[in-house]
Amino acid sequence: MAVSAGILLTLGTIHLVYTFWGPRLLPRDPALHASMSKISPILTKETTMWRAWVGFNASHSMGAILFGLIYGFLATAHGDLLFNSSYLLAVGLVMLIGYCALGKLYWFRIPFAGISVSLFCYVASIVSSLA
Give the pLDDT score at 119: 98
- pLDDT tens, the chain, 131 aa long: 999 999 999 999 999 999 999 999 999 999 999 999 999 999 999 999 999 999 999 999 999 999 999 999 999 999 999 999 999 999 999 999 999 999 999 999 999 999 999 999 999 999 999 98
End-to-end CA distance of the chain: 15
Q: Which of 87, 96, 88, 89 is nearest to 9 (CA)?
A: 96
Phi, psi at residue 25, to the nearest 5°?
-105, 15
